[in-house]
Structure 1
Amino acid sequence: MSRIYGDPIEVWTRDGEPARFVWRDRLYVVRRVLDHWVTSREWWRIAESDPGERRFWRVEASPGGDTGTYELRFDTASGGWLMLRAWD
């Protein structure tokens, strides 16, 4: 079962992919990227010439103990990262 969050997170990348992130004051190390996809933002709702993209990663990560599956999102327009979803 998964839970949806939408929490801002801090992410460190390596070769353009998430390598570590801090969520709820815990440091997670990405063990494996399971999936990656890119979507265009809703360009018709934004008055900018370049609305940017949203880049998603589904990763296996661990805060030191058990490994879990997490979905992270990077918004190129804002430069911000979110924890979107976590699986139990």
Structure 2
Amino acid sequence: MSRLYGDPIEVWTRDGEPTQFVWRDRLYLVRSVLDHWVVAREWWKTGDNDPGERQFWRVEASPGREVGSYELRYDTAGNGWLLLRAWD
């Protein structure tokens, strides 16, 4: 079962991939990247000449012993990360 969040998070990366993130004051270590995809943003909806893109990462991560799956999103135009979804 998954839950939607859309919470801003702080993410550390190595070679462009997330390695750890802080969500709700807890540090999560990324154990593996399960999937990665990129979606171009529509310039006609944003009005920008360079609307950027959104990079999605589905990762397996843990703040301790329990491991879960999380979907992270990086918006290149806004230079910000969100935790979009978490699976139990």
User: d(CA) in 2 for partners of 1:46 and 1:3?
Assistant: 28
Deviation at 1:75, TM superposition (A): 0.1
User: Counterpart of 2:61 in structure 1: which amino acid?
Assistant: A
User: d(CA) in 1 for partners of 2:79 and 2:63?
Assistant: 24
Deviation at 1:65, TM superposition (A): 1.3
Question: For 1:41-75, what per-residue CA distance to the aligned partner results, in whole angstroms no more than 9, with x for missing partners?
Answer: 12211121100000000000000111100000000
Partner of 1:66: 66
Taking structure 1 as the reference length, the TM-score comes to 0.98
Taking structure 2 as the reference length, the TM-score comes to 0.98
Structure 2 matches for 1:1-88, cutoff 5 A?
Answer: 1-88=1-88
User: d(CA) in 2 for partners of 1:46 and 1:33?
Assistant: 30
User: d(CA) in 1 for partners of 2:49 and 2:43?
Assistant: 8
- Structure 1: unaligned runs, 5 residues or longer: none
Identity %: 76
User: d(CA) in 2 for partners of 1:56 and 1:24?
Assistant: 20
CA RMSD of aligned residues (A): 0.6
User: Counterpart of 1:32 in structure 2: which amino acid?
Assistant: S
SS of residue matched to 1:45:
helix
Q: Aligned pairs, how many?
A: 88
SS of residue matched to 2:66:
coil
User: Counterpart of 2:80 in structure 1: which amino acid?
Assistant: G
